[in-house]
Structure 1
Amino acid sequence: MYTVKEVAQKIKLTEHTIRFYTDKGLVPNVQRDKYNNRLFDEESLNWLIRVKYLKDCGMSIKDIKYFVDLYLEGDSSIPRRYEIILKYKELAREQLTEATKRLAFMEEKVKRYHTIINQVIADDTNT
């Protein structure tokens, strides 16, 4: 079992965010100790990771809650969950494409500034 602090360090979320997600019902079956502190098992940890990824793909808290609720309905919701994941997979692909373009831009800038610093070329642009 993991504490909120341990989970925060493990999956790179703030303790506040983890508490917020659990309070919103995005992590089913979070356990509590005798002092009412949240405790996370591997399944709860995996739910937090899923929520993090869905949020990073642009899914709203409301839509994540809907997705979790669908999951809790069981197998009958698999087709709907599949549709949701397909939609956000495409959004993730678009984000990756944009991130790849940003990386290429930054790599080119690094090369340019490296040559300027080494006085191979003059800094004659404002780029």
Structure 2
Amino acid sequence: MELTIQQVAAKTGLSAHTLRYYEKVGLMEPICRAANGHRSYQSHDLEWINLLMHLRTTGMPIADMQRFAEMMRQGDRGIGQRRQLLEEHEQKLLVQVKELQDTLSVLRDKITYYRAWEDQQPHLDD
């Protein structure tokens, strides 16, 4: 499977500019070029982009994503470091999830309170 940068942008929702940026800053290996000189993305490139998108969605800083990409280039030698980086990120996410759950609980309590208050109010006939 070979895809152009526009096809990858359409599939991923990332802009062509972002895809070029990811390559430029070392988040991606240089993309193979077709005979016409245009980028030619392979299925493994899409898998990697998918992982980058997930890391970005979780708020991982670009610098950490770059470190992770560099560790990937080390092959099996970098597995322990990659695991450690992801575990550290996981711990940050767990804290964020707990904070969101606590906030959601407070919001739900307020919603319940306001519904109960509204239910006790006399309804005016229009």
TM-score (norm 2): 0.71
Deviations 1:63-114 (A, max 9, x none): 2121111111121211111100111122233444455567678888999xxx
Cα separation, 2, equivalents of 1:40 and 1:104: 44
1:60 counterpart = 2:61: yes
Cα separation, 1, equivalents of 2:108 and 2:38: 45
State how 1:33-52 maps to structure 2 within 5 Å: 33-52=34-53
Count of aligned pairs: 119
Classify the secondary structure of the residue corresponding to 2:37: coil
Classify the secondary structure of the residue corresponding to 1:35: coil
Structure 2: give runs of 5+ residues left out of the alignment: 122-126
Structure 1: give runs of 5+ residues left out of the alignment: 123-127
1:3 counterpart residue number: 4
Letter in 2 for 1:77: G
Cα separation, 1, equivalents of 2:96 and 2:45: 27
2:14 counterpart residue number: 13
2:124 counterpart residue number: none
Cα separation, 2, equivalents of 1:16 and 1:109: 43
Classify the secondary structure of the residue corresponding to 2:6: helix
Cα separation, 1, equivalents of 2:109 and 2:10: 33
1:77 counterpart = 2:78: yes
2:27 counterpart residue number: 26
TM-score (norm 1): 0.71
C-alpha change, 1:14 and 1:93, in structure 2 (3 Å) is farther
Cα separation, 2, equivalents of 1:83 and 1:62: 15
